[in-house]
Amino acid sequence: MVGSAAVRIAVLIVLACVAPAALLVPAAGAQNPWIKPRPLNIAHQGGEDEFPSNTLYAFRKAVRAGADMLELDVGVTRDGRIVVMHDTTLDRTTNGRGTIASKTLRQIRRLDAAYWFSERGPDHYDHGRRRSAYRFRGVATGRRKPPRGFRRAAFRVPTLRQVMRAFPRTAINVEIKGRTPAEADAEYIRNAEVLGRLLRRTRRRDLIVVSFRQSAIDRFHELVPRIDVAPGVDGVARWLVGGSPGAGVAAFQVPITTRVGGALIRVTTEANVARAHRDGYAWQNWFSGDDRDEPSTWRSLVELCVDGIMTSRPVALERVLRAGRQSAGCR
């Protein structure tokens, strides 16, 4: 959660504590398939601390390790194609420069998506390491042999269509991005429309679409109402004060905490998770800068009965989930 978005949610969390019960608007409808007895192991960017972010290699390794769902981010190229990348620029993870929106798909396909990935932490995409630290650098371009069982293409920037074809039976979470957090709604809405055109004929029911911008979610839902969505910042905020999070919402995707100035405010509480379930919504967590993506935190989320944990370390999370058991108080 960033900038004004974090402030808006934090203020409304406080307001929610004093909101009259009469304002509560429960969700309508049938049982929600995203509400789970064991939280989903959701591989954030395919597990960006364990594997190169948002690559087919990462997605396949995460699924083999036990990930239940893939979380990925999409941007739209200059020629209107949907590619999978967390950032809106190429600089941090690839050997390219500039924005996704300024490049054609052909240009992006030439890039090495694992160029800056190092298995050493804490920053796995630090550009200041020795060349030997970047074990997968050059696989995509043919300068290094791929690991056994993989091809060079697994280390390039994939399209969303490629990922969906490669994982027809694995749930996928798709986040709509714009160029910058401060960008006007226009680019987010345009990207939502391109995504809607791609997904309008799919028969898959194991997808969730999300964006920080509620306007993008609302537009996507207008175009493809049968695909589940998670609300943007404004939708979450409305629900926290007793209103509706928006049409088509099946799950909340929120941090554990958010910070406003020097105050750390907790979003994921036992009361909020329980209320979401009563209203018919699933609760899935991602990690903000103050939330530690580690075993002790995962165990506490299990005890809170959350329905999904978006982790940068899906291999490690799966070990914890298999070793433990769901809290006795959960469904």
Cβ proximity of 83 and 101 under 8 Å: no
Residues contacting 13, CB < 8 A, separation 6+: 240, 258, 265, 266, 267
Domain boundaries, the chain: 3-91+158-323
Q: Is 44 a catalytic residue?
A: yes
CA torsion angle 288 294 300 304 (round to 10): 50
Per the residue annotation, which of 86, 124, 221, 277 is the catalytic one?
A: 86
Instruction: Tell me which CATH code domain 3-91+158-323 carries.
Output: 3.20.20.190
pLDDT tens for the chain, 331 residues long, are 444 455 455 545 544 443 443 344 444 445 899 999 999 999 999 999 999 999 999 999 999 999 999 999 999 999 999 999 999 999 999 999 999 999 999 999 999 999 999 999 899 999 999 999 999 999 999 999 999 999 999 999 999 999 999 999 999 999 999 876 565 688 999 999 999 999 999 999 999 999 999 999 999 999 999 999 999 999 999 999 999 999 999 999 999 998 878 889 899 999 999 999 999 999 999 999 899 999 999 999 999 999 999 999 999 999 999 998 666 567 6
Ordered DSSP codes for 80-140: S-EEE-SSSBSTTTSS--SBGGGS-HHHHHTS-TTTT--SSSS-TT-TTS-GGG-TTTTTT
3-state secondary structure at position 21: helix
* Residues 72, 173 contacting (CB under 8 angstroms): yes
